[in-house]
């Protein structure tokens, strides 16, 4: 069976785009924890933050990881297929989640500079944490806080600045061998 690959990193580092391509090329199924949560709750992340709370959302991230582990463990070895899992930018912050992520598979941190991230998210309105007056500063502050957690959660770090999706996917596949 193929190992699952888990992509972590800050908002806008390319987890979902890279994850989809990686899944297609490596013959794995793809799952995005944000989408899993939106489907479970029947509302967007922005609405969950607004109507429930960020804490409620964070608990669901842990529930998602636990369910993925449970689902995997009830399968027989012939039913098991590796997955590519892209996780929300804040999920690896919780220590409990760092352990669960490593239990799920190989964790890859897609590392990007704040300026790269800002260019990608500056017109996006779907990320509640970046709807502030100075998003670049917010990105710098949050990355500063999170860097250590991302490093602690990851088995491998890949810098994505200035690289194409294809190149990053190739790098991930090459490092698997």
Give CA 70 to chain center in angstroms: 19
Q: Given candidates 2, 35, 62, 128, which one binds ligand S3P under the rule CB under 6 A?
A: 128
Among the listed residues 175, 173, 171, 148, the one whose alpha carbon sits nearest the alpha carbon of residue 84? 173
| Minimum CB distance to ligand S3P smaller for 82 or for 88 | 88
Minimal distance, residue 129 CB to ligand S3P, in Å: 5
Residue 14 sits in the site that holds ligand S3P (CB under 6 A) = no
Q: Are 101 and 153 in contact (CB under 8 A)?
A: yes
Q: Are 8 and 107 in contact (CB under 8 A)?
A: yes
Q: Given candidates 5, 11, 31, 154, which one binds ligand S3P under the rule CB under 6 A?
A: 11
Name the DSSP letter for residue 156.
E
Other beta carbons within 10 Å of 100: 21
Segment 27 to 46, residues that bind ligand S3P, using CB under 6 A: 34, 45
Q: Are 31 and 20 in contact (CB under 8 A)?
A: no
Residue 6 sits in the site that holds ligand S3P (CB under 6 A) = no
Minimal distance, residue 75 CB to ligand S3P, in Å: 26
Residue span 51-90 as binding mask against ligand S3P, x where in contact by CB under 6 A, dash where not? -------------------------------------xxx
Reduced to 3 states (helix: H, G, I; strand: E, B; else coil), residue 108 is strand
| Minimum CB distance to ligand S3P smaller for 45 or for 172 | 45
Minimal distance, residue 26 CB to ligand S3P, in Å: 20
The CA angle 4-7-8, to the nearest 5 degrees, is 140
Binding site for ligand S3P (CB under 6 A): 11, 15, 34, 45, 88-90, 127-129
């Amino acid at each position: 069976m193929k190992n699952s690959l888990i992509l972590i990193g800050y908002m806008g580092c390319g987890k979902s785009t890279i994850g989809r391509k990686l899944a297609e090329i490596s013959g794995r199924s793809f799952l995005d924890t944000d989408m899993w949560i939106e489907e479970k709750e029947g509302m967007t992340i922005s609405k969950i933050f607004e109507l429930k709370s960020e804490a409620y959302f964070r608990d669901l991230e842990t529930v998602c990881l636990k369910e993925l582990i449970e689902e995997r463990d009830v399968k027989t070895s012939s039913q098991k297929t590796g997955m590519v899992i892209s996780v929300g930018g804040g999920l690896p912050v919780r220590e409990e989640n760092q352990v669960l992520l490593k239990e799920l598979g190989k964790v890859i941190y897609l590392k990007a500079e704040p300026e790269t991230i800002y260019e990608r998210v500056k017109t996006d309105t779907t990320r509640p944490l970046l709807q502030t007056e100075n998003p670049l500063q917010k990105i710098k502050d949050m990355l500063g806080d999170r860097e250590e957690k991302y490093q602690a959660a990851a088995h491998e770090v890949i810098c994505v600045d200035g690289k194409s999706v294809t190149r990053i996917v190739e790098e991930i596949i090459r490092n698997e061998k």
